[in-house]
Every structure is written in structure tokens, then in C-alpha cells.
Amino acid sequence: MSIKSIKPLAEYIAVSGGLTALDLSFNNLIDEGVSEVCEAIQNNKETKLASLNFERNRIGPVGANAVAAMVAVNGALTVANLLRNPLDAESAKMLAEVAKQKGISLCGIRRDQTTADFHDQYLKPPDAILLASDLTQAVVTGGLTSINLSGNHLTNLGTDMTGIKELAAALGVNGGLTKISLAKNKLGEEGTKAICEATEQNTTLKELDISGGFGECNIGGSAGAKHVAKMLGVNGALTVTNLLGNQLDAESAKMLAEVAKEKGISLCSIQRDQTTAHFSNQDLKPPPAVLDSHRHRQTKTFRRNPPST
């Protein structure tokens, strides 16, 4: 959408008294177009706009400032979505502070949602900062009990831990989540340590998926496994974890298995009431076989299907 085409829309927004939701996602508005829309919302004293979607619009720090200024004075907005924009950490944190003050979601999470699925959306560290903002706000997350963040780039392929540390801090104080997946995010040892230290304090989280997959280690190998083992040893709520596909050595796998046996925790995402478990086509190696061996007695049928031909 060009800046010429956004002007008529902005003019309408500035005078509309009935508009409650506006979806401008995937429109390549860039900073100029977003600023135009935000100024129109800001100038409308009668606005009832409660939901605004700016996802993937190439919004940078300049556009983020315009969004923040609009959010700060808007009394109707409860849900916004700014994910998948090229924000930097500073602008993401600035938006998070304003959103917390106003009780506004920055990731499109509605207050009545119980689950949120963000898997495979190419989310990056600034997105993790926005997600952390939502997860620290009880007024935003409401009844949210499960969130899937698997298959993203929350650490920018292991080079930027800013966002994952913010997200970890949010997990430490969130009292509603019972299930979270951070699988296939290249957390590395540093990111895994942050998540595990936060989870040590969380008394409601029951399921944690930090698996890797197909040659991609997630937790930083054996170094990260030590932080996981420490967390499992003190957490009183977790019953199910998934550590498969993390390229562990036999020693680390056995260490985790021992802790899991003592605490009665699954290391391979096997639920206690499961009757079957399938791990076909997952490129499992001997150490993961050590991880899942202590769960055999808790399933009536345990089966690895042969690879399909």
C-alpha cells in the first residue's frame, strides 16, 4: 500500500466514530504510512478503535515512536499487533513500557484467549521483547494458558540473547501459563540458562518444550543440559518436558534421566495418560533413547514407527 493510498484511509480514520477494528497487516506501510495512520487515530477524539494490526509492515524505530505516541493517549485500544517488523531492541522496549502502562497487547493476544500459536513465524529478538510485554500483563493475557513459540529466531540464530532474556523474565512472573514451547530456537547455553532460572521460580508451568531437531541443537548441548537438570531438580510443577534432538552426549542424557526419575518428569513430551507415543522420522540418536527409556512403564504402547518410504 503506497503513501498516496493510505492518505484517504487516514482521513477516514481521523473522523470515524464507529470503527472498532483495523487490520493493516502485510501492507508494506513503512514508517511514513504507519505514522500517518497513528496521527489520524490520535487526532480522533471519538475513536472507538480497540484492535489494530500492524504486523509485518517494515516498521522501524521512527514508526515505533509514532505508535507509542498514539498508544499513550488512546483510551479505547486493547489489542495491537506489531510482530515481524524490523524494530531494534530499544524501540521494542520503549513500546513495551508504554503498553504495560496502558494494559495493551503488542502481539495480537486477546484477553479471552486461552492459547496462542506463533510457531514458524520467523520471530526475532525484538519480537520476543514484545511477547514478554504481553506475558507480564495479567490484564492482557487473561486466561492464556498455552503459547507456542517453536521454530522461530528468537535469539537471531544464537547471536542475540536480549529478547530471550526478556521473555525468560516474563515467564518468571507469569502465573497463568501451564504450557510453553520454545523448541527449535537456538537458545544456546545462555538462553537456556535464562529460561531455566526463570522456570525455577514458576509454580504453574507444567509443560516445557525446548527440543531441537534434525541436527539443530536448541539448548547449547551438554552445557545447557546442566541448567536444565538444575531446574528440574527444584521445580515442583513441571511434569512434561521435551529435550529430544539436542545433540546431547550420553553422560548428559543419563544425568537428565536420573533427575527426571527422581521427580517423575517426562523428558520426551510423553503425557502420563498417553497410550501410544510416536517418534518416527525425528533422527533420534542413542542419547535421546536414554532420555525416553524411563518413561516406557507409563505408556501402554510405546512405538517408534519406521521411516515412511
Among 215, 132, 207, 213, CA closest to 174: 132
Alpha helix (H) residue ranges in 16-112: 30-43, 61-73, 89-102
DSSP strand pairing (51-53 vs 79-81): parallel
What does the pLDDT read at residue 277?
83
pTM above 0.85, yes or no: yes
Query: Where exactly are the structural domains of the chain?
Result: 1-108, 110-309
% of the chain surpassing 70 pLDDT: 91
% of the chain surpassing 90 pLDDT: 79
What does the pLDDT read at residue 157?
92
C-alpha cell belonging to residue 43: 487526532
Rounded (10°) CA dihedral 59, 64, 70, 73? 160
Average pLDDT, the chain: 90
Among 235, 93, 240, 73, CA closest to 163: 93
Tell me the mean pLDDT in the region 69-98: 97
Compute how many other C-beta atoms are within 10 angstroms of the C-beta atom of residue 153.
20
CATH (residue range 110-309): 3.80.10.10
Continuous segment of H or E residues that includes residue 6: helix 3-15
What does the pLDDT read at residue 103?
95
Q: Which amino acid is at 239?
A: T
Going by pLDDT thresholds of 50, 70 and 90, the confidence category of residue 126 is very high
Q: Is the pLDDT of residue 88 over 70?
A: yes
Q: Which has more pLDDT, 84 or 278?
A: 84
Tens-digit pLDDT profile for residues 152-180: 999 999 999 999 999 999 998 888 999 99
What does the pLDDT read at residue 268?
93
Tell me the mean pLDDT in the region 176-192: 96
Give domain 1-108's CATH architecture.
Answer: Alpha-Beta Horseshoe (3.80)
The size of the chain, in residues, is 309
Tell me the mean pLDDT in the region 37-66: 97
| One fold for 1-108 and 110-309 | yes
What does the pLDDT read at residue 294?
54
What does the pLDDT read at residue 298?
45
Helix/strand/coil for 238: coil
